[in-house]
Structure formats: structure tokens, C-alpha cells
Amino acid sequence: MTTVLFYVFAAIAVGGAFGVVMSRSPVGSLLSMVGTLFSLAATFVLLEAHFLAAIQVIVYAGAIMVLFLFVIMLLNLGHDYQKDLKGGVFALVSFGTAGLMAGFLRYQLRGVGLAEGGAGGAAIDAAMAEHGVVGAIAEPLYTTYVVPFEMTGILLLVAIVGALVLAKKNVA
Amino acid sequence: MITDALVLSAFLFVIGTFGVLVRRNAIIMFLCIELQLNAVNLTFVAFSQLHGIDGQIFVFFVMTVAAAEAAVGLAIIISIFRHYETVNVDNFKLLRW
């Protein structure tokens, strides 16, 4: 059952990714991206990352994609239907690069038959049983990884200030 | 299913790379970069099934950095648009030969 669901969501994700690359209007690309993000959230659920699935929907699909949509509307690109795929040699080079990368990843994944529910899966199950779905992530986040966690706070503050300064009308 | 997730993530990463290379609209190139970040997130989540919950925490940090990057990058795109009245990257050739 989970395998079938996984394949369904994987197909939606890959289709959405193609939509992002191929769609003519920026808004179409954006909506395909939202579909991809939702189906990736579903695969996160299947891989026992429930908290991350919620964050994926709320932060990625809800906040970041809306920010993109605001920018598209602000710059009035919503009906920018001209084809902007690069053609000729550049498209060939892109195909070649993507193909090489796919071949490399295929080579790395050759004959990989990873055990289902290995040691990590059991550890995650135990942590979820003890602390709950959110607590399983929160417990190491506030103990082992507390310094990186505080640093992300500083990073977000710097990003807010930087975005304001960059987008301000009259930069001195 | 872990292997399947890795293959899916490889697919998404390659599609994202192709999109960054082949599109001219700066916003869509940016969306394709987000696609690549998501592909890597999927890899982390898949491997956390083998190595414990640390991978999921790393995904949390990647999402934070992606949010910061989206805010700053879109601000840069807005200020470029004010200057050139377009987001087509072919027009930004000040540092190109």
C-alpha cells in the first residue's frame, strides 16, 4: 500500500517538476512547483518525517511560494507568455549536463538495495513513541544542535534586513 | 522504498539542474534551484531511515536557509527589475564577456 502511494506521489512530483521547467507562464510554473512540494510532503509522511511534512506544506508551499507569487504579481510577469527556453547549442549543452549528472547518479545508485526500516527507522520509531512526533525532532534540536539552531535565528534576522535594504526604492 | 526515494530525488535534482540551465526567466531559474534543494531534502529524509533522526534535523536547517535565500534572492530580482525593466537573464551582461 505504501509503495503504491509512494509511486503515485513520485509520479506527481516528477510531473510537477517537468511543469516547472516547461510551463510558459511563471504562474503556471509556480503552481506546478506547489504540486511538487505537496507530493514531496506526502513522501515525507511515507518516510516517517511527519513534522517535516507539515513544515514543508506550511513554510514551503505556504510561505515561500506565496512570496514568489507576490514578486511575480509585483513585477507584473503573470502574463509573460513568451517562450524563454534557451535554444540551439545551449539547450544541447544543458541536455548533456543533465544527462551526465543523471548517469553519474545512476552509477552511484547501482545495485543499491537498502534495507527497509534499518537501525535508523527503529530509532525514529522509539523516539516518536517516547516524545511524540514533534518531540522526536525537538529533543535533539534543543540539545545537540542548539548552537546551529540559534545561528539560524541570526541568519533569518540578517536575511530580513538584507531583503529590506535590497528592495528599498532609493538605496543610497 | 529508500532506494526508490533516492532515485526520485536524483530525478528531481536533474530536472532542476536542467531548468536552471535552460530557462531565461530569473524567477523560474530560482524556482528550479528550490526544486534542487527539495530533491536534496528528500535524500536526507530517506537516509534518516537508515541513520537516525539527524537527517531530518538537517532538513529543518536546509529549509531555514532556503527561506532566507528566497527572501534575499527575490529582493535582488526586484532591484534588478527596477534597473532593467526585465527579469530576462540575457539582458544582465555587465559582468559577461
Cβ-defined contact of A21 to B1 (cutoff 8 Å)? no
Q: Is the whole model's pTM more than 0.90, yes or no?
A: no
- Min Cα separation A26/chain B (Å): 7
Domain count, chain B: 1
Contacts of A145 in chain B (CB under 8 A): 57
Q: Residue B51: closest CA among chain A residues belongs to which residue?
A: A120
Cα(A3)–Cα(A10) distance, integer angstroms = 10
Cβ-defined contact of B50 to A63 (cutoff 8 Å)? no
Confidence of residue A56 (pLDDT cuts 50, 70, 90): very high
Q: Is the pLDDT of residue B20 over 70?
A: yes
Phi, psi of A12 (to 5 degrees): -65, -40
Q: Is the pLDDT of residue A117 over 60?
A: no
- Min Cα separation A109/chain B (Å): 8
Choice between B87 and B72, residue whose per-residue pLDDT is larger: B72
In a domain, B94, yes or no: no
Inform me whether the C-beta atom of residue A117 falls under 8 Å from chain B C-beta atoms: yes
In a domain, B20, yes or no: yes
- Min Cα separation B56/chain A (Å): 7
Long-range pairs for A52-60: beta carbons < 8 A, 24 or more residues apart: A52/A137, A52/B41, A52/B45, A52/B56, A52/B59, A52/B60, A55/B60, A55/B63, A56/B41, A56/B63, A59/B63, A59/B67, A60/B34, A60/B38, A60/B63, A60/B66
Q: Does domain A1-80 have CATH number 1.10.760.10?
A: no
pLDDT of B23-38, one tens digit each? 888 899 999 999 999 9
Cβ-defined contact of B14 to A105 (cutoff 8 Å)? yes
Give yes or no for a contact between A68 and B74, defined as CB atoms under 8 angstroms apart: yes
Across the A/B interface, how many CB contacts are shorter than 8 Å?
237
pLDDT of B52-77, one tens digit each? 888 899 999 999 999 999 999 999 99
Domain limits for position B7: 2-88
In a domain, B13, yes or no: yes
Q: Residue A8: closest CA among chain B residues belongs to which residue?
A: B8
Grid coordinates belonging to A169: 526604492
What does pLDDT average to over chain B? Answer: 88
Q: For residue A81, what pLDDT is reported? A: 65
Between positions 28 and 57 of A, the ones with CB within 8 A of B are 29-30, 33, 36-37, 40, 43-44, 46-49, 51-52, 55-56
Confidence of residue A40 (pLDDT cuts 50, 70, 90): very high
Q: What is the CATH number of the domain that holds B62?
A: 1.10.287.3510
Domain locations in chain A? 1-80, 128-172
What does pLDDT average to over chain A? Answer: 85
Contacts of B34 in chain A (CB under 8 A): 33, 60, 64
In a domain, B96, yes or no: no
ipTM of predicted assembly, 2 dp = 0.90
In a domain, B93, yes or no: no
Give yes or no for a contact between B13 and A15, defined as CB atoms under 8 angstroms apart: no
Choice between A16 and A95, residue whose per-residue pLDDT is larger: A16
